[in-house]
Amino acid sequence: MPTLDERVGDVLHAVHLDGLLRATGRVGDSVFSHAGDMALLSWRSASNTLRGNVALHDFIDQAFAMGVQSLPLVMVTAILSGIVTSQQGGYQFTGSIPLYILGSVVTSSVVLELGPVLTAVVVIGRVGARITAELGTMRVSEQIDALYSLGRDPVPVLAAPRILAGMLVMPALVAIANGVGVAAGMVSAQATVGLGAQSFLYGARLFWHSYDLLYSLMKALVFGFVIPVISVHMGLLTRGGAEGVGRSTTASVVFMIIAVLVSDALFPPLFLN
Amino acid sequence: MAVIEYRDVHKAFDVPVLTGVDLTVASGETLSIVGPSGTGKSVLLKTTIALIVPDSGDVVIDGQSVVDADAEQLLEIRRKAGYVFQNAALFDSMNVHDNVSLGLSDAVIRSLGRAEVERRVAEALEDVNLDAALVMRKLPAELSGGMRKRVGLARAIVGRPQILLYDEPVTGLDPVNSAGVDRLISALAERMHVTSIVVTHDIEGAMTISDRIALLEGGKLRFIGTPEEFRHSQEPLVRAFVNREAAFAAAAARSEAGHEGMA
């Protein structure tokens, strides 16, 4: 016969478990609902793009804003990541491992991981947040409703040019970030541990696989798809005035970072084994 | 003949907003919908062209159900209607010409050609008493609130719709501009023979421009009748609205007299 304390404990445990399950259900429901909406948005953007419904000037405007205007910040980030990787490697290798290995470590780190991920983080902050805030403001100021009322679909006008621009611009940005990051690492290695350019490049070539560059650009393509899809989706979902725009922009940035990091984590088991 | 029919329209956003609205609007009629804030006037207006879809009930435009319409039919319904938004909802990055020409379908723009589109846009701007040559290349941010509303109206009429839907067209305007927009609504209804629904808080304006006035409260229609019937109704809610308007008009008159006295 259970005591009163045990019964109360059982009830509390059941209530707690029940609440936990409900919360998990709600989160799961929300995740699947967002995923379904984003899949539909992607499909409709792709079909509008293939049917030629996307205006060239809309695409060029977005590609310019995402690519050319992001380039300075992407380059600064790439230079700093190359320098830091080179200096930390130099610190660890000096006196224990041949220093030319540093060329391989810097190149692999930048091309396989730092170039794509840090460029994605820059684009999330500079472009993804802007897209959500812009579309969110259009939503709360009834401009999206105005498009519908004029018999126009927002997908080819607002979503498709941004997604297409993201997928085409992101690989170019990552390619530039990779080159700049490795070059900065090489210069830094010369300045800090006295490793010459020829030795650095010898080490870089020693473990280089051409596939690494393809892998890096595949990551860029996925990030260039994920960032605009989430930012457009969250912008179009915005409700509730200026406060709502702030809320959805914050949520959008969080979702974009999580999505980039999760897809980044999926790449090695899928493409490096 | 009824052009727009609302049939037992229900809509809830967490709490019920519309709880069974039945309303018929005849061809060429101007109907004003008045009522307290948050009572679902704008929601009802948006259900007309499925910017908001009712939870139950239906809206029928020219015999076509809005709820059951497929994408093509919905496009057709929306092409029949011009919608004037409360804050004009102009696209900030586009100039006035581009904003207004959005009211024409791509097919019409292709068939008309650039010069004819420009002429149609200018004509719509002149119809709403704007100097087309002056405002055509301006951005919305360079216009006053009244001018933005007029540009929004020009965008709604440039496609020559059969129905015009106005969501609080005079909110935020001074009395002179409000009266100007009211005159414009009447003039357009007469000139274009359109069926108009006007959601407004301006009872005096509604009295001037409407063939009938409907009072929406608590998600239901509480009164519908001519402006004369509205003015003389003994319905407590209607009386409260009319009296509030009369009190406001008296206060405005006293204030104006005070200013004249000071002058």
Q: Best of A142, A153, A157 to disrupt the B interface by mutation (most B CBs within 10 Å)?
A: A142
Q: Best of A149, A152, A158 to disrupt the B interface by mutation (most B CBs within 10 Å)?
A: A149
Cα dihedral angle (B126, B75, B38, B216), rounded to 10 degrees? 90
Which residue among B46, B75, B87 sits closest to A151, beta carbon to beta carbon?
Answer: B75
Closest chain A residue to the Cα of B84, Cα to Cα: A146
Mark yes or no for CB contact B78/A145 under 8 Å: no
According to DSSP H, which parts of chain B are helical?
A: 41-47, 71-80, 96-101, 106-112, 114-127, 132-135, 145-157, 175-192, 203-209, 227-232, 236-262
CA A120: distance to chain centroid? 4
Asked if A25 and A18 count as a contact pair (C-beta separation under 8 A), the reply is no
Residue B262's pLDDT band (cuts 50, 70, 90): very low
Reported ipTM: 0.85
Mark yes or no for CB contact A145/B89 under 8 Å: yes
Nearest to B123 by CA among B140, B110, B104, B107: B104
Closest chain B residue to the Cα of A142, Cα to Cα: B89
Which residue among A143, A148, A152 sits closest to B51, beta carbon to beta carbon?
Answer: A148
Domain segments of chain A as ranges: 55-272
Q: Does position B106 have pLDDT exceeding 80, yes or no?
A: yes
Lowest mean pLDDT among A45-59, B109-123, B131-145, B230-244: B230-244
Mark yes or no for CB contact A145/B75 under 8 Å: no
Q: Is A18 on the interface with B (CB under 8 A)?
A: no
pTM for the model stands at 0.83
Residues in CB range of B134: below 8 A, 6 or more apart? none
Adjacent-strand bridge partners of B61? B4, B64
Residues in chain B: 263
Chain A positions touching B86 (Cβ under 8 A) are 142
Question: Residue B263 has what pLDDT?
Answer: 41
Question: Residue B236 has what pLDDT?
Answer: 84
CA distance A17 to chain B (A): 27
> B12-47 burial, b for 16+ CB within 10 Å, e for fewer?
eeeeebbeebebebeebbbbbbbbeeebbbbbbbbb
pLDDT, one tens digit per residue, over B89-99 is 999 989 999 99
More confident residue, A2 or B203: B203
Amino acid identity, position B239: R
Average pLDDT of B153-176?
A: 90
The CA-atom distances, in angstroms, between A40 and each of A43, A233, A254 are: 5, 10, 21
More confident residue, B86 or B248: B86
The CA-atom distances, in angstroms, between B119 and each of A242, B82, B125, B161 are: 37, 19, 10, 17
Percent of chain B residues past pLDDT 90, beyond the cut? 62
> A86-111 burial, b for 16+ CB within 10 Å, e for fewer?
bbebbeebeeeeebbbbbbbbbbbbb
Burial tier of A62 (Cβ tally within 10 Å: 0-12, 13-18, 19+): buried
pLDDT, one tens digit per residue, over B36-86 is 888 899 999 999 999 999 999 999 999 999 999 998 899 999 999 999 999
Total number of domains constituting chain B: 1
Per-residue pLDDT of chain A (273 residues), as tens digits, is 667 667 767 776 766 777 888 888 888 888 889 999 999 999 999 999 999 989 899 999 999 999 999 999 999 999 999 999 999 999 999 988 899 999 999 999 999 999 999 999 999 999 999 999 999 999 999 999 999 999 888 999 999 999 999 999 999 999 999 999 999 999 999 999 999 999 999 999 998 999 999 999 999 999 999 999 999 999 999 998 899 999 999 999 999 999 999 999 999 999 987
The CATH number of the domain holding residue B80 is 3.40.50.300
